[in-house]
């Protein structure tokens, strides 16, 4: 049944008119990508389809993993690239373009963005995720959602939650404490839900602490709806449903793809058995109908999009996504001079997106080799040698010899290296962080022939650069840049555009330094998040580990100075203002990053955490004041006993810099704190009793100051004695407070 734009649904009336069987059927997919229609009541089907960096609507028989062709669509840079732009405004525009393409294809919901954290650099799907930092992922994800939904098309925020690996992703239990969940793995979802209200949230495949995400009432109802106020529909990842009746009770509304009626039968049997109520079915069916009603306002046949304009936007996004890691002055390349040797198959056959369910059929593809030749227009000779085969990256003596000849006769060699397509994909994780050995051998051979080398990388997640980067004068991290990445790369190499990307994830010196060593991808069905809060730069800072390039790093073709740091405090709202000056000879964009420290706290806190950022573009010599506002959550932690966000009053450090390890200015502020008094129990330690404002006075009165001094404040044994639970101490012979007195006091002071 076709959609009729501008119409609406009377959802309460439809719920009253539908039979129980029809309502239950609405909660199951009609096929691989569509929701069911109810023709007798005029309820149309909706199409949901893969994203998140481009529309993947399949033509003909549908499948989840892209075995069949999809309709042509603009392939924007995947999230790994877009995240390096640190540019919410750009992501809003990309999202709006995606929304327009969805409308043209009559797609109601684009499945994305993915905002799972990059816990391990080996996760095979890291190219689809934004960052190792939840604040950055949340801000960028919200911008993309806002853009898509501005066009009357829904998004599906995924994968909720703790889906941080592909190994055993359907069954593995992510075993992680609540504080770590709240501070690291949930905040990006929270930011997007509370600020942007995505139309749908997609539950993850995995279990969390033993419970499948698809049937976890704490996750899908308590946190998502009761705490965050989510008003949309919860859809399963494709094939994520374990027990359909338990999922419905927990808050999972729609099962995708079609279960062939199995899910509907389970729901109906549960209602008849009394383990589910018809109200449970009505609640979920209402959400499905509300989604249909929303989509009807915008979708309909005959809509189109400007493919050329979207390609131009993809080029702008690709330019903003690349990160200049290193430059000894060799870049930008002059437009006149001797020959340029372009080496590496990726210059001719670009790798511009990842594999799996997000694979887009692009409307066109630019190559860096063609773009360089077109831009130079004969002013400099461009000689090409493939150097390796793109699929394997393996060494080939003849290809290396050809590349060496090209490099030896050139003024500069631009070497395109990266991960072959099979190295990273949905469905499996990587086994190492290294480039293919054949590519590294190629680089060394080229550098031996010509020391003036620029390396351009194509990879969806980090690779080790430390073993070989000394052979290159410049390294441009290109990530996967989408269909216009070739032209964007040429713009950056020639200085037509200025590099502005900043790393959204740390590049470690060695794989063995990463936080998840020994706890990834788990064993016997469990993966233990033993590093807790310390993922990404938090880990490297805590362990004082060297890194190849830090979180937030990125060079420009100019330089920036910071000055005039001013911090104003209004209650627990803080405004950080700094003046940034372009001290170089070219225009450029700086990303000002604000980190917060809490040097003295009642719980362990990371060394520093990103709490705000702002981009500023400046002409040579121009100065501008940049302000970043911080709310009280910038200073809060999740209290493991009180189980709420808490600001512990006292001193906080404000650090402003160009990366997590390039802090330019810092200062200290004082903030008022929350009441951190924790409920007392008889089993609480003497330390906890003495620290309690009321119970401490009660205990001192009964013991007397002399006994307190002798027993609990004694330099030799006091610390040991204070660690004993008061209830147990009350059982000791001769102790002046009895166990019933402790129990009565605990009830009074709780």
Q: Which two structure tokens, joined as six digits, stand for 630?
A: 């911080």
| Strand ranges of the sheet holding 474-477, from the earlier edge strand across to the other edge | 323-327, 474-477, 453-458, 412-418, 340-343, 382-385
| Phi, psi values for residue 56, rounded to 5° | -125, 75
pTM, whole model, 2 decimals? Answer: 0.95
d(CA 680, CA 678): 6
Tell which phi-psi region holds residue 331, choosing left (phi > 0), alpha (psi between -120 and 50) or beta: beta
* Cα distance from N-terminal residue to C-terminal residue, the chain: 60
d(CA 633, CA 187): 10
CATH class of 310-547: alpha beta
Q: Are 334 and 493 in contact (CB under 8 A)?
A: no
Q: Which two structure tokens, joined as six digits, stand for 104?
A: 């043209």
Q: What's the pLDDT at 2? A: 45
Q: Are 678 and 641 in contact (CB under 8 A)?
A: yes
Q: Are 651 and 670 in contact (CB under 8 A)?
A: yes
Distances (CA, A) of 412 to 380, 453, 630: 11, 6, 46
β 645-646/507-508 pair status:
unpaired
> Domain 560-671, what fold?
Immunoglobulin-like (2.60.40)
Query: HSE-up of 298 (CA within 13 Å, CB side)?
Result: 23
d(CA 114, CA 33): 18
Q: What's the pLDDT at 679? A: 86
| Strand ranges of the sheet holding 609-618, from the earlier edge strand across to the other edge | 609-618, 588-597, 650-659, 662-671
d(CA 724, CA 384): 74
Catalytic residue among 237, 396, 429, 491: 237
Q: Give average pLDDT by consecutive 10-residue segment, the chain, 750 residues.
A: 62 97 98 96 96 86 58 96 98 98 97 98 96 98 98 98 97 98 98 98 98 98 98 98 98 98 98 97 98 93 95 98 98 97 96 86 97 96 94 84 98 97 92 95 98 98 97 98 98 98 98 96 97 98 98 98 97 96 98 97 96 98 98 97 96 98 98 91 91 90 84 87 92 91 90
In the chain, domain spans? 11-296, 310-547, 560-671, 686-749
| Strand ranges of the sheet holding 623-630, from the earlier edge strand across to the other edge | 560-570, 573-582, 623-630
Q: Which two structure tokens, joined as six digits, stand for 656?
A: 């402003």
- Please name which of 3, 6, 8, 41 lies closest in space to residue 23, comparing C-alpha atoms: 41
- Please name which of 252, 261, 249, 262 lies closest in space to residue 205, comparing C-alpha atoms: 252
- Please name which of 63, 188, 216 lies closest in space to residue 113, comparing C-alpha atoms: 188
- Please name which of 436, 437, 478 lies closest in space to residue 455, comparing C-alpha atoms: 478
Q: Which two structure tokens, joined as six digits, stand for 463?
A: 């690779």
Q: Which two structure tokens, joined as six digits, stand for 342?
A: 């372009």
The verdict on whether omega for the bond into residue 52 sits within 30 degrees of 0, i.e. cis, is yes
Handedness of CA 454, 459, 460, 461 (dihedral sign): negative
d(CA 532, CA 183): 10
Sole residue written with tokens 């119970």: 695
Catalytic residue flag (residue 175): no
Q: Are 462 and 490 in contact (CB under 8 A)?
A: no
Q: Are 578 and 563 in contact (CB under 8 A)?
A: yes
| CB within 8 Å of 77: residues ≥ 6 apart | 53, 314, 317, 318, 321, 352, 479, 480, 481, 482, 485
| CB within 8 Å of 384: residues ≥ 6 apart | 341, 342, 343, 347, 348, 369, 406
* CATH code for residues 11-296: 3.20.20.300
- Decide: residue 672, CB within 10 A, 0-12 exposed, 13-18 middle, 19+ buried: exposed
């Amino acid at each position: 049944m076709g959609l009729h734009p501008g119409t609406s649904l009377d959802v309460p009336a439809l719920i009253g008119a539908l039979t129980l069987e029809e309502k239950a059927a609405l909660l199951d997919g009609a096929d691989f990508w569509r929701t069911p229609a109810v023709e007798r009541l005029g309820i149309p089907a909706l199409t949901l389809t893969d994203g998140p960096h481009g529309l993947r609507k399949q033509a003909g028989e549908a499948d989840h993993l892209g075995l069949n062709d999809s309709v042509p669509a603009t392939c924007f840079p995947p999230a790994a690239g877009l995240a390096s732009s640190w540019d919410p405004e750009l992501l809003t525009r990309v999202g709006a373009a995606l929304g327009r393409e969805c409308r043209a294809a009559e797609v109601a919901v684009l499945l994305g963005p993915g905002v799972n954290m990059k816990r391990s650099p080996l996760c095979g799907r890291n190219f689809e995720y934004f960052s190792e930092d939840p604040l950055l992922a949340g801000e960028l994800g919200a911008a993309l959602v806002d853009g898509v939904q501005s066009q009357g098309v829904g998004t599906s925020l995924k994968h909720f939650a703790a889906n941080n690996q592909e190994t055993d992703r359907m069954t593995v239990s992510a075993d992680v404490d609540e504080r770590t969940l709240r501070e690291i793995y949930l905040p990006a979802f929270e930011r997007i839900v509370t600020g942007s209200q995505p139309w749908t949230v997609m539950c993850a495949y995995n279990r969390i602490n033993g419970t499948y995400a698809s049937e976890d009432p704490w996750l899908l109802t308590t946190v998502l709806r009761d705490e965050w106020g989510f008003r949309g529909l919860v859809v399963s990842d494709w094939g994520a449903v374990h027990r359909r009746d338990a999922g419905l009770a927990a808050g999972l509304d729609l099962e995708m793809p079609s279960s062939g009626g199995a899910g509907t039968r389970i729901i109906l049997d549960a209602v008849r058995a009394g383990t589910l109520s018809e109200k449970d079915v009505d609640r979920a069916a209402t959400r499905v109908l509300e989604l249909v009603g929303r989509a009807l306002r915008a979708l309909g046949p005959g809509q189109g999009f400007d493919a050329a304009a979207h390609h131009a936007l993809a080029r702008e996004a690709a330019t903003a996504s690349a990160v200049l890691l290193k430059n000894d002055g060799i870049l930008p390349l002059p437009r006149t001079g001797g020959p340029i040797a372009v080496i590496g198959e990726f210059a001719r056959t670009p790798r511009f997106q990842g594999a799996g369910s997000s694979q887009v059929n692009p409307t066109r593809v630019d190559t860096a080799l063609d773009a360089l030749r077109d831009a130079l227009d004969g002013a400099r000779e461009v000689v090409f040698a493939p150097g390796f085969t793109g699929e394997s990256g393996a060494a080939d003596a003849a290809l290396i010899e050809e590349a060496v000849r090209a490099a030896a006769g050139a003024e500069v060699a631009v070497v395109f290296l990266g991960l072959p397509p099979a190295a990273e994909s949905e469905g499996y994780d990587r086994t190492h962080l290294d480039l293919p050995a054949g590519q590294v051998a190629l680089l060394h051979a080229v550098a031996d022939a010509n020391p003036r080398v620029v390396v351009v990388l194509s990879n969806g997640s980090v690779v080790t650069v430390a073993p070989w980067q000394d052979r290159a004068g410049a390294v441009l991290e290109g990530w996967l840049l989408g269909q216009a990445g070739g032209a964007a790369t040429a713009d950056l190499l020639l200085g037509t555009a200025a590099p502005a990307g900043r790393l959204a994830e740390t590049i470690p010196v060695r794989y063995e330094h990463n936080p998840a060593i020994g706890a990834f991808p788990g064993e016997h069905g469990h993966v233990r998040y033993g590093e807790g809060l310390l993922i990404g730069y938090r880990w490297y800072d805590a362990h004082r580990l060297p890194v190849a390039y830090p979180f937030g790093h990125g060079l420009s073709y100019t330089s920036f100075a910071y000055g005039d740091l001013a911090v104003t405090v209004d209650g627990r709202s803080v405004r950080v203002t700094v003046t940034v000056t372009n001290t170089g000879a070219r225009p450029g964009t700086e990303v000002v990053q604000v980190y917060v420290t809490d040097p003295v706290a009642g719980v362990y806190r990371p060394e520093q955490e990103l709490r705000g950022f702002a981009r500023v573009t400046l002409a040579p010599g121009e100065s501008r004041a940049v302000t970043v506002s911080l709310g009280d959550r910038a200073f809060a932690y999740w209290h493991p006993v009180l189980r709420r966000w808490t600001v512990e009053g006292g001193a906080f450090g404000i650090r402003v810099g160009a990366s997590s390890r390039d802090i330019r200015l810092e200062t200290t502020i004082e903030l008022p704190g929350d009441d951190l008094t924790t409920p007392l129990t008889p089993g609480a330690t003497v330390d906890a009793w003495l620290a309690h404002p009321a119970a401490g006075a009660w205990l001192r009165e009964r013991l007397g100051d002399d006994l307190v001094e002798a027993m609990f404040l004694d330099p030799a044994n006091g610390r040991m004695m204070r660690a004993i639970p008061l209830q147990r101490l009350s059982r000791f012979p001769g102790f002046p407070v009895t166990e019933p007195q402790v129990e009565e006091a605990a009830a009074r002071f709780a």
